Structure 1
Amino acid sequence: MSQPPRENLFLNLGFNLLLPVMILNKGAKWLPFLSPTSVLLVALAFPVGYFLYDLKKRKKRNLISILGIVGVLLTGSIGLFKLPPIYFAIKETLMPLLIGIAVVVSLKTKNPLIHALLYNPDIFDAEKIDARIDTPAKKASFNDLMKLCTWIIALSFLVSAFLNFFITKMIVVTDPRVDQAAYNSEIGTQHWVGLIVISICTLPISFYAMWRLFKGIEQLTGLTMEEVIHADAKKDSKDKT
Protein backbone atom coordinates (compact mmCIF):
# COMPACT_ATOMS: atom_id res chain seq x y z
CA MET A 1 0.00 0.00 0.00
CA SER A 2 1.54 3.33 -1.09
CA GLN A 3 2.17 6.02 1.51
CA PRO A 4 0.19 9.27 1.19
CA PRO A 5 2.27 12.19 -0.15
CA ARG A 6 4.03 14.27 2.48
CA GLU A 7 2.58 17.70 3.10
CA ASN A 8 4.46 20.96 2.59
CA LEU A 9 4.91 22.54 6.03
CA PHE A 10 5.22 26.07 4.64
CA LEU A 11 2.01 25.78 2.62
CA ASN A 12 0.30 24.27 5.66
CA LEU A 13 1.23 27.17 7.94
CA GLY A 14 0.71 29.77 5.24
CA PHE A 15 -2.81 28.75 4.28
CA ASN A 16 -3.96 27.86 7.79
CA LEU A 17 -2.36 30.57 9.91
CA LEU A 18 -0.43 33.32 8.14
CA LEU A 19 -2.79 34.29 5.31
CA PRO A 20 -6.01 34.20 7.39
CA VAL A 21 -4.40 36.38 10.09
CA MET A 22 -3.14 38.88 7.51
CA ILE A 23 -6.55 39.10 5.85
CA LEU A 24 -8.37 39.56 9.16
CA ASN A 25 -5.95 42.31 10.20
CA LYS A 26 -5.56 44.08 6.84
CA GLY A 27 -8.81 43.12 5.11
CA ALA A 28 -10.42 46.53 5.56
CA LYS A 29 -7.40 48.17 3.89
CA TRP A 30 -6.71 45.59 1.20
CA LEU A 31 -10.34 44.80 0.37
CA PRO A 32 -12.25 48.04 1.09
CA PHE A 33 -15.12 46.98 -1.18
CA LEU A 34 -15.96 44.03 1.10
CA SER A 35 -18.02 44.09 4.26
CA PRO A 36 -16.48 42.81 7.53
CA THR A 37 -18.52 39.62 7.15
CA SER A 38 -17.15 39.07 3.63
CA VAL A 39 -13.58 39.64 4.85
CA LEU A 40 -14.16 36.96 7.49
CA LEU A 41 -15.42 34.55 4.82
CA VAL A 42 -12.37 35.25 2.63
CA ALA A 43 -10.04 34.58 5.58
CA LEU A 44 -11.99 31.43 6.42
CA ALA A 45 -11.73 30.15 2.85
CA PHE A 46 -7.98 29.51 3.15
CA PRO A 47 -7.96 26.99 6.06
CA VAL A 48 -11.23 25.41 4.88
CA GLY A 49 -9.92 25.07 1.34
CA TYR A 50 -6.60 23.63 2.53
CA PHE A 51 -8.42 21.18 4.83
CA LEU A 52 -10.51 19.86 1.92
CA TYR A 53 -7.50 19.75 -0.41
CA ASP A 54 -5.39 17.87 2.15
CA LEU A 55 -8.26 15.49 2.95
CA LYS A 56 -8.61 14.60 -0.73
CA LYS A 57 -4.88 14.36 -1.41
CA ARG A 58 -3.60 12.66 1.75
CA LYS A 59 -6.83 11.16 3.14
CA LYS A 60 -6.08 12.78 6.51
CA ARG A 61 -7.85 15.40 8.61
CA ASN A 62 -5.40 18.27 8.95
CA LEU A 63 -5.17 19.34 12.60
CA ILE A 64 -3.62 22.72 11.80
CA SER A 65 -6.44 23.44 9.35
CA ILE A 66 -9.03 22.70 12.03
CA LEU A 67 -7.24 24.98 14.49
CA GLY A 68 -6.97 27.64 11.79
CA ILE A 69 -10.71 27.46 11.09
CA VAL A 70 -11.56 27.76 14.80
CA GLY A 71 -9.10 30.61 15.23
CA VAL A 72 -10.47 32.56 12.26
CA LEU A 73 -14.05 32.08 13.43
CA LEU A 74 -13.25 33.28 16.94
CA THR A 75 -11.13 36.24 15.85
CA GLY A 76 -13.59 37.25 13.13
CA SER A 77 -16.59 36.96 15.44
CA ILE A 78 -14.90 39.10 18.08
CA GLY A 79 -14.22 41.73 15.43
CA LEU A 80 -17.69 41.58 13.92
CA PHE A 81 -19.43 42.02 17.24
CA LYS A 82 -16.85 44.60 18.40
CA LEU A 83 -16.32 42.86 21.70
CA PRO A 84 -14.01 44.42 24.35
CA PRO A 85 -10.28 43.57 24.15
CA ILE A 86 -10.49 41.12 27.06
CA TYR A 87 -12.38 38.69 24.82
CA PHE A 88 -9.54 38.68 22.33
CA ALA A 89 -7.07 38.07 25.17
CA ILE A 90 -9.18 35.14 26.37
CA LYS A 91 -9.32 33.70 22.85
CA GLU A 92 -5.54 33.99 22.45
CA THR A 93 -5.11 32.21 25.78
CA LEU A 94 -7.65 29.45 25.20
CA MET A 95 -6.32 28.26 21.83
CA PRO A 96 -2.87 27.01 23.00
CA LEU A 97 -4.31 25.96 26.37
CA LEU A 98 -6.92 23.74 24.72
CA ILE A 99 -4.31 22.28 22.37
CA GLY A 100 -2.07 21.43 25.33
CA ILE A 101 -4.98 19.76 27.13
CA ALA A 102 -5.91 17.86 23.95
CA VAL A 103 -2.33 16.61 23.58
CA VAL A 104 -2.42 15.13 27.10
CA VAL A 105 -5.96 13.74 26.85
CA SER A 106 -5.15 12.11 23.50
CA LEU A 107 -2.73 9.79 25.30
CA LYS A 108 -5.84 7.76 26.20
CA THR A 109 -6.85 7.39 22.54
CA LYS A 110 -5.62 5.17 19.73
CA ASN A 111 -4.00 8.12 17.95
CA PRO A 112 -2.12 10.33 20.46
CA LEU A 113 -1.43 13.81 19.11
CA ILE A 114 2.22 13.45 20.04
CA HIS A 115 2.53 11.21 16.97
CA ALA A 116 1.53 14.12 14.73
CA LEU A 117 3.54 16.73 16.64
CA LEU A 118 6.78 14.81 17.25
CA TYR A 119 6.78 11.11 16.35
CA ASN A 120 5.57 11.81 12.85
CA PRO A 121 5.84 8.96 10.29
CA ASP A 122 6.72 11.56 7.66
CA ILE A 123 9.93 12.13 9.63
CA PHE A 124 10.62 8.93 11.55
CA ASP A 125 11.01 5.49 10.00
CA ALA A 126 8.41 4.03 12.35
CA GLU A 127 8.55 0.52 10.85
CA LYS A 128 12.29 0.26 11.49
CA ILE A 129 11.90 1.59 15.02
CA ASP A 130 8.95 -0.69 15.83
CA ALA A 131 10.92 -3.71 14.61
CA ARG A 132 13.59 -3.00 17.26
CA ILE A 133 11.07 -2.41 20.06
CA ASP A 134 10.25 -6.10 20.18
CA THR A 135 9.90 -6.95 23.87
CA PRO A 136 7.26 -6.01 26.47
CA ALA A 137 9.91 -4.17 28.50
CA LYS A 138 10.99 -2.10 25.51
CA LYS A 139 7.38 -1.34 24.59
CA ALA A 140 6.67 -0.18 28.14
CA SER A 141 9.78 2.02 28.08
CA PHE A 142 8.76 3.46 24.71
CA ASN A 143 5.28 4.28 26.04
CA ASP A 144 6.86 6.02 29.03
CA LEU A 145 9.08 7.98 26.63
CA MET A 146 6.07 9.12 24.60
CA LYS A 147 4.26 10.16 27.79
CA LEU A 148 7.28 12.20 28.91
CA CYS A 149 7.52 13.93 25.52
CA THR A 150 3.77 14.58 25.61
CA TRP A 151 4.01 16.39 28.94
CA ILE A 152 7.00 18.43 27.72
CA ILE A 153 5.07 19.53 24.62
CA ALA A 154 2.00 20.26 26.76
CA LEU A 155 4.22 22.48 28.93
CA SER A 156 5.25 24.47 25.84
CA PHE A 157 1.57 25.12 25.04
CA LEU A 158 0.91 26.14 28.65
CA VAL A 159 3.78 28.64 28.50
CA SER A 160 2.41 29.88 25.16
CA ALA A 161 -1.04 30.39 26.70
CA PHE A 162 0.26 32.51 29.58
CA LEU A 163 2.52 34.56 27.30
CA ASN A 164 -0.34 35.12 24.85
CA PHE A 165 -2.54 36.47 27.62
CA PHE A 166 0.01 38.92 29.02
CA ILE A 167 1.22 40.10 25.60
CA THR A 168 -2.35 40.63 24.42
CA LYS A 169 -3.32 42.47 27.60
CA MET A 170 -0.34 44.81 27.19
CA ILE A 171 -0.80 45.55 23.49
CA VAL A 172 -4.52 45.26 22.65
CA VAL A 173 -6.04 47.97 24.84
CA THR A 174 -8.35 49.89 22.49
CA ASP A 175 -12.05 49.12 22.53
CA PRO A 176 -13.11 48.42 18.89
CA ARG A 177 -16.39 50.24 19.59
CA VAL A 178 -14.35 53.41 20.11
CA ASP A 179 -11.61 53.09 17.46
CA GLN A 180 -11.74 50.09 15.12
CA ALA A 181 -8.62 51.12 13.18
CA ALA A 182 -6.49 51.35 16.32
CA TYR A 183 -7.87 48.03 17.55
CA ASN A 184 -6.97 46.30 14.24
CA SER A 185 -3.48 47.82 14.34
CA GLU A 186 -2.95 46.59 17.89
CA ILE A 187 -4.02 43.08 16.92
CA GLY A 188 -1.50 43.12 14.07
CA THR A 189 1.23 44.23 16.48
CA GLN A 190 0.20 41.59 18.99
CA HIS A 191 0.54 38.84 16.39
CA TRP A 192 4.13 39.61 15.37
CA VAL A 193 5.32 40.48 18.88
CA GLY A 194 3.66 37.33 20.22
CA LEU A 195 5.19 35.21 17.46
CA ILE A 196 8.71 36.41 18.29
CA VAL A 197 8.42 36.25 22.09
CA ILE A 198 6.57 32.93 22.22
CA SER A 199 8.93 31.32 19.71
CA ILE A 200 11.96 32.37 21.76
CA CYS A 201 10.39 30.98 24.94
CA THR A 202 8.78 27.77 23.66
CA LEU A 203 11.08 26.53 20.89
CA PRO A 204 13.77 25.43 23.38
CA ILE A 205 11.12 23.34 25.17
CA SER A 206 10.04 21.73 21.89
CA PHE A 207 13.65 21.09 20.87
CA TYR A 208 14.25 19.48 24.26
CA ALA A 209 11.26 17.19 23.71
CA MET A 210 12.59 16.21 20.29
CA TRP A 211 16.06 15.59 21.75
CA ARG A 212 14.62 13.38 24.50
CA LEU A 213 12.67 11.44 21.87
CA PHE A 214 15.74 10.88 19.71
CA LYS A 215 17.90 9.85 22.69
CA GLY A 216 15.20 7.53 24.03
CA ILE A 217 14.75 5.82 20.66
CA GLU A 218 18.52 5.49 20.31
CA GLN A 219 18.81 3.84 23.73
CA LEU A 220 15.91 1.46 23.08
CA THR A 221 16.80 0.44 19.53
CA GLY A 222 20.52 1.03 19.13
CA LEU A 223 19.76 3.06 16.00
CA THR A 224 21.42 6.41 15.38
CA MET A 225 19.57 9.61 14.53
CA GLU A 226 20.50 9.17 10.86
CA GLU A 227 19.07 5.66 10.88
CA VAL A 228 15.70 6.56 12.43
CA ILE A 229 15.02 9.50 10.12
CA HIS A 230 12.71 8.54 7.27
CA ALA A 231 14.52 8.25 3.94
CA ASP A 232 12.21 10.80 2.27
CA ALA A 233 12.83 13.34 5.03
CA LYS A 234 16.60 12.97 4.64
CA LYS A 235 16.27 13.35 0.88
CA ASP A 236 14.20 16.54 1.26
CA SER A 237 16.74 17.94 3.70
CA LYS A 238 19.60 17.29 1.27
CA ASP A 239 17.66 18.77 -1.65
CA LYS A 240 17.18 22.04 0.26
CA THR A 241 20.88 22.42 1.05
Structure 2
Amino acid sequence: MTSDNQAVNKRKKNNPLIEIVFNIIIPSVILMKFSGPEYLGSVAGLIVALIFPISYGIYDFIKAGSLNFISLLGFLSTLLTGGIALFELNVEWLAIKEAAIPAIIGFTVLMSGFFGKPLLAKLLLNSLLFKLDTIYDALDARGNTQNFKQKITNANYLLALTFVFSSTMNYILAKWIVTSPAGSVEFNEQLGEMTLLSYPVIAIPSMLMLIGIFVYVIKVLTKLTDMKFEDMVNAE
Protein backbone atom coordinates (compact mmCIF):
# COMPACT_ATOMS: atom_id res chain seq x y z
CA MET A 1 0.00 0.00 0.00
CA THR A 2 1.43 3.37 -1.01
CA SER A 3 1.82 6.29 1.35
CA ASP A 4 -0.86 8.20 -0.59
CA ASN A 5 -3.34 5.36 -0.13
CA GLN A 6 -2.42 5.20 3.54
CA ALA A 7 -3.16 8.91 3.85
CA VAL A 8 -6.55 8.38 2.26
CA ASN A 9 -7.35 5.52 4.62
CA LYS A 10 -6.10 7.48 7.61
CA ARG A 11 -8.58 10.25 7.00
CA LYS A 12 -11.96 9.43 5.59
CA LYS A 13 -13.93 12.21 3.98
CA ASN A 14 -16.26 14.07 6.28
CA ASN A 15 -19.97 13.59 5.80
CA PRO A 16 -21.28 16.90 4.38
CA LEU A 17 -24.70 16.33 5.96
CA ILE A 18 -23.17 15.94 9.43
CA GLU A 19 -21.10 19.10 8.89
CA ILE A 20 -24.22 21.07 7.94
CA VAL A 21 -26.16 19.71 10.93
CA PHE A 22 -23.46 20.53 13.49
CA ASN A 23 -22.24 23.82 12.01
CA ILE A 24 -25.47 25.34 10.69
CA ILE A 25 -28.77 23.65 11.54
CA ILE A 26 -28.37 22.88 15.27
CA PRO A 27 -26.75 26.26 16.17
CA SER A 28 -29.38 28.12 14.14
CA VAL A 29 -32.30 26.30 15.80
CA ILE A 30 -30.88 26.92 19.29
CA LEU A 31 -30.28 30.61 18.60
CA MET A 32 -33.65 31.20 16.96
CA LYS A 33 -35.89 29.05 19.18
CA PHE A 34 -34.21 28.41 22.53
CA SER A 35 -32.27 31.56 23.46
CA GLY A 36 -35.28 33.38 24.87
CA PRO A 37 -35.70 33.96 28.64
CA GLU A 38 -38.25 31.15 28.88
CA TYR A 39 -35.62 28.63 27.75
CA LEU A 40 -31.83 29.02 27.91
CA GLY A 41 -31.56 32.80 27.90
CA SER A 42 -29.42 34.90 25.55
CA VAL A 43 -25.99 34.10 27.04
CA ALA A 44 -26.52 30.41 27.74
CA GLY A 45 -28.29 29.97 24.42
CA LEU A 46 -25.36 31.48 22.55
CA ILE A 47 -22.83 29.35 24.44
CA VAL A 48 -24.79 26.14 23.81
CA ALA A 49 -25.18 27.02 20.13
CA LEU A 50 -21.44 27.66 19.74
CA ILE A 51 -20.54 24.40 21.49
CA PHE A 52 -21.67 22.38 18.47
CA PRO A 53 -19.43 23.90 15.72
CA ILE A 54 -16.52 24.23 18.17
CA SER A 55 -16.88 20.60 19.28
CA TYR A 56 -17.09 19.44 15.69
CA GLY A 57 -13.97 21.43 14.83
CA ILE A 58 -12.07 19.84 17.72
CA TYR A 59 -13.33 16.38 16.73
CA ASP A 60 -12.23 16.93 13.13
CA PHE A 61 -8.81 18.10 14.32
CA ILE A 62 -8.34 15.02 16.50
CA LYS A 63 -9.50 12.69 13.72
CA ALA A 64 -7.27 14.30 11.08
CA GLY A 65 -4.27 14.85 13.33
CA SER A 66 -3.81 18.32 11.86
CA LEU A 67 -5.67 21.57 11.28
CA ASN A 68 -5.46 23.18 7.87
CA PHE A 69 -5.50 26.92 7.24
CA ILE A 70 -9.16 27.14 6.22
CA SER A 71 -10.33 24.98 9.12
CA LEU A 72 -8.32 27.17 11.50
CA LEU A 73 -10.00 30.31 10.16
CA GLY A 74 -13.42 28.69 10.53
CA PHE A 75 -12.64 27.76 14.12
CA LEU A 76 -11.43 31.30 14.90
CA SER A 77 -14.51 32.74 13.19
CA THR A 78 -16.77 30.80 15.56
CA LEU A 79 -14.82 31.99 18.60
CA LEU A 80 -14.90 35.60 17.38
CA THR A 81 -18.67 35.42 16.91
CA GLY A 82 -19.02 34.28 20.51
CA GLY A 83 -16.66 37.00 21.71
CA ILE A 84 -18.58 39.74 19.91
CA ALA A 85 -21.84 38.56 21.50
CA LEU A 86 -20.55 37.84 24.99
CA PHE A 87 -18.66 41.14 25.26
CA GLU A 88 -21.62 42.95 23.65
CA LEU A 89 -19.54 44.70 21.02
CA ASN A 90 -21.03 46.84 18.27
CA VAL A 91 -22.80 44.64 15.70
CA GLU A 92 -20.72 46.32 12.99
CA TRP A 93 -17.85 44.09 14.15
CA LEU A 94 -19.91 41.02 13.28
CA ALA A 95 -20.31 42.20 9.67
CA ILE A 96 -16.59 43.00 9.50
CA LYS A 97 -15.70 39.60 10.90
CA GLU A 98 -18.04 37.80 8.51
CA ALA A 99 -16.41 39.57 5.56
CA ALA A 100 -12.83 39.28 6.85
CA ILE A 101 -12.60 35.47 7.01
CA PRO A 102 -13.28 34.74 3.30
CA ALA A 103 -11.36 37.90 2.38
CA ILE A 104 -8.24 36.53 4.10
CA ILE A 105 -8.61 33.22 2.27
CA GLY A 106 -9.16 34.99 -1.05
CA PHE A 107 -6.10 37.19 -0.51
CA THR A 108 -4.02 34.09 0.26
CA VAL A 109 -5.23 32.40 -2.93
CA LEU A 110 -4.51 35.55 -4.95
CA MET A 111 -0.98 35.95 -3.57
CA SER A 112 -0.19 32.30 -4.26
CA GLY A 113 -0.80 33.00 -7.95
CA PHE A 114 1.44 36.07 -7.95
CA PHE A 115 4.28 34.02 -6.41
CA GLY A 116 3.96 31.35 -9.07
CA LYS A 117 2.56 28.68 -6.75
CA PRO A 118 -1.22 28.80 -7.28
CA LEU A 119 -3.08 27.28 -4.37
CA LEU A 120 -5.61 25.81 -6.80
CA ALA A 121 -2.93 23.53 -8.27
CA LYS A 122 -2.01 22.27 -4.81
CA LEU A 123 -5.64 21.61 -3.89
CA LEU A 124 -6.81 20.09 -7.16
CA LEU A 125 -3.77 18.58 -8.85
CA ASN A 126 -2.53 15.97 -6.41
CA SER A 127 -1.43 12.38 -6.75
CA LEU A 128 -4.47 11.13 -4.85
CA LEU A 129 -6.75 12.20 -7.70
CA PHE A 130 -4.61 12.34 -10.81
CA LYS A 131 -1.78 10.48 -12.52
CA LEU A 132 0.44 13.52 -12.36
CA ASP A 133 3.53 11.99 -13.97
CA THR A 134 1.47 10.87 -16.96
CA ILE A 135 -0.19 14.28 -17.26
CA TYR A 136 3.05 16.26 -17.00
CA ASP A 137 4.78 13.98 -19.52
CA ALA A 138 1.91 14.51 -21.96
CA LEU A 139 2.05 18.29 -21.50
CA ASP A 140 5.81 18.33 -21.99
CA ALA A 141 5.63 16.13 -25.08
CA ARG A 142 3.22 18.59 -26.71
CA GLY A 143 5.05 21.70 -25.57
CA ASN A 144 2.07 22.84 -23.51
CA THR A 145 3.63 23.01 -20.04
CA GLN A 146 3.88 26.80 -19.89
CA ASN A 147 0.45 27.21 -21.46
CA PHE A 148 -1.02 24.94 -18.79
CA LYS A 149 0.70 26.87 -15.99
CA GLN A 150 -0.85 30.10 -17.31
CA LYS A 151 -4.30 28.49 -17.50
CA ILE A 152 -3.99 27.25 -13.92
CA THR A 153 -2.93 30.73 -12.77
CA ASN A 154 -6.01 32.21 -14.47
CA ALA A 155 -8.22 29.59 -12.80
CA ASN A 156 -6.56 30.44 -9.48
CA TYR A 157 -7.63 34.07 -9.91
CA LEU A 158 -11.18 32.86 -10.54
CA LEU A 159 -10.95 30.91 -7.29
CA ALA A 160 -9.91 34.09 -5.49
CA LEU A 161 -12.98 35.83 -6.97
CA THR A 162 -15.27 33.22 -5.40
CA PHE A 163 -13.97 34.31 -1.99
CA VAL A 164 -14.50 37.97 -2.93
CA PHE A 165 -18.12 37.04 -3.65
CA SER A 166 -18.37 35.20 -0.33
CA SER A 167 -16.82 38.10 1.58
CA THR A 168 -19.16 40.64 0.00
CA MET A 169 -22.28 38.55 0.53
CA ASN A 170 -21.31 37.76 4.13
CA TYR A 171 -21.03 41.47 4.89
CA ILE A 172 -24.33 42.31 3.17
CA LEU A 173 -26.15 39.44 4.89
CA ALA A 174 -24.80 40.39 8.32
CA LYS A 175 -25.68 44.08 7.88
CA TRP A 176 -29.14 43.25 6.56
CA ILE A 177 -30.18 40.66 9.17
CA VAL A 178 -28.25 41.32 12.40
CA THR A 179 -29.33 44.75 13.61
CA SER A 180 -30.05 44.18 17.32
CA PRO A 181 -27.49 44.86 20.09
CA ALA A 182 -25.05 42.03 20.80
CA GLY A 183 -26.00 40.00 23.86
CA SER A 184 -29.74 40.38 23.38
CA VAL A 185 -32.22 37.63 22.58
CA GLU A 186 -33.01 39.37 19.30
CA PHE A 187 -29.31 39.34 18.39
CA ASN A 188 -29.17 35.58 18.93
CA GLU A 189 -32.28 35.02 16.84
CA GLN A 190 -30.93 37.18 14.01
CA LEU A 191 -27.55 35.44 14.24
CA GLY A 192 -29.31 32.09 13.87
CA GLU A 193 -31.26 33.37 10.87
CA MET A 194 -28.08 34.69 9.27
CA THR A 195 -26.30 31.36 9.81
CA LEU A 196 -29.21 29.46 8.29
CA LEU A 197 -29.49 31.74 5.26
CA SER A 198 -25.75 31.74 4.62
CA TYR A 199 -25.96 28.21 3.23
CA PRO A 200 -28.40 28.80 0.32
CA VAL A 201 -27.35 32.43 -0.25
CA ILE A 202 -23.56 32.03 -0.06
CA ALA A 203 -22.35 28.44 0.33
CA ILE A 204 -24.32 26.88 -2.54
CA PRO A 205 -23.46 29.59 -5.13
CA SER A 206 -19.82 29.41 -4.04
CA MET A 207 -19.86 25.63 -4.45
CA LEU A 208 -21.32 25.98 -7.95
CA MET A 209 -18.51 28.40 -8.81
CA LEU A 210 -15.93 25.91 -7.53
CA ILE A 211 -17.49 23.15 -9.64
CA GLY A 212 -17.31 25.46 -12.67
CA ILE A 213 -13.60 26.09 -12.02
CA PHE A 214 -12.98 22.35 -11.66
CA VAL A 215 -14.73 21.64 -14.98
CA TYR A 216 -12.67 24.40 -16.62
CA VAL A 217 -9.39 22.87 -15.38
CA ILE A 218 -10.41 19.39 -16.57
CA LYS A 219 -11.29 20.75 -20.02
CA VAL A 220 -7.92 22.51 -20.20
CA LEU A 221 -6.13 19.31 -19.19
CA THR A 222 -7.92 17.14 -21.74
CA LYS A 223 -7.27 19.68 -24.50
CA LEU A 224 -3.59 20.32 -23.78
CA THR A 225 -2.69 16.67 -23.07
CA ASP A 226 -4.98 15.10 -25.69
CA MET A 227 -6.00 12.60 -23.00
CA LYS A 228 -9.38 11.40 -21.87
CA PHE A 229 -10.47 12.28 -18.35
CA GLU A 230 -10.66 8.63 -17.28
CA ASP A 231 -7.04 8.15 -18.38
CA MET A 232 -5.86 10.95 -16.10
CA VAL A 233 -7.48 9.96 -12.83
CA ASN A 234 -6.42 7.28 -10.38
CA ALA A 235 -8.97 4.49 -10.60
CA GLU A 236 -7.97 2.98 -7.21
Normalising TM by the smaller chain, what interval?
0.7 to 0.9
Deviation at 1:120, TM superposition (A): 4.6
Q: Which residue of 2 aligns with 1:155?
A: 161
Q: Distance in 2 between matches of 1:18 and 1:114?
A: 28
Deviation at 1:115, TM superposition (A): 3.3
When residues 189 and 111 of structure 1 are mapped into structure 2, their CA distance, relative to the original with a 3 A threshold, is same
Aligned pairs for 1:98-177 (under 5 A) are 98-107=104-113, 112-134=118-140, 137-177=143-183
Q: Which residue of 1 aligns with 2:22?
A: 19
> Residue 2 in 1 paired to residue 8 in 2?
no
Say if 2:22 and 2:52, in contact at 8 Å, map to a contact too. Answer: no
Aligned pairs for 1:1-241 (under 5 A) are 1-3=2-4, 4-5=7-8, 7-11=11-15, 14-15=18-19, 19-21=22-24, 25=28, 26=30, 29=34, 32=40, 39=48, 40=50, 43-55=53-65, 61-107=67-113, 112-134=118-140, 137-177=143-183, 180-199=184-203, 201-232=205-236
Deviation at 1:157, TM superposition (A): 0.8
Q: Distance in 2 between matches of 1:116 and 1:5?
A: 16
Deviation at 1:113, TM superposition (A): 2.4
Deviation at 1:187, TM superposition (A): 1.1
When residues 195 and 37 of structure 1 are mapped into structure 2, their CA distance, relative to the original with a 3 A threshold, is closer
SS in structure 2 opposite 1:214? Answer: helix
RMSD, aligned CA:
3.3
Greater displacement, 101-110 / 63-72 = 101-110
Q: How many residues align?
A: 225
Greater relative contact order (Cα 8 A, min sep 6): structure 1 or 2? 2
SS in structure 1 opposite 2:179? Answer: coil
Deviation at 1:127, TM superposition (A): 3.4
Deviation at 1:205, TM superposition (A): 2.9
- 1:100-144 alpha-carbon deviations (Å, 9 max, x no partner): 111122236686421354335443333332232335942212211
Between the aligned residues of both structures, percent identity stands at 24
When residues 23 and 72 of structure 1 are mapped into structure 2, their CA distance, relative to the original with a 3 A threshold, is farther
Deviation at 1:97, TM superposition (A): 0.9
Unaligned runs of 5+ in 2: none
Say if 1:82 and 1:176, in contact at 8 Å, map to a contact too. Answer: yes
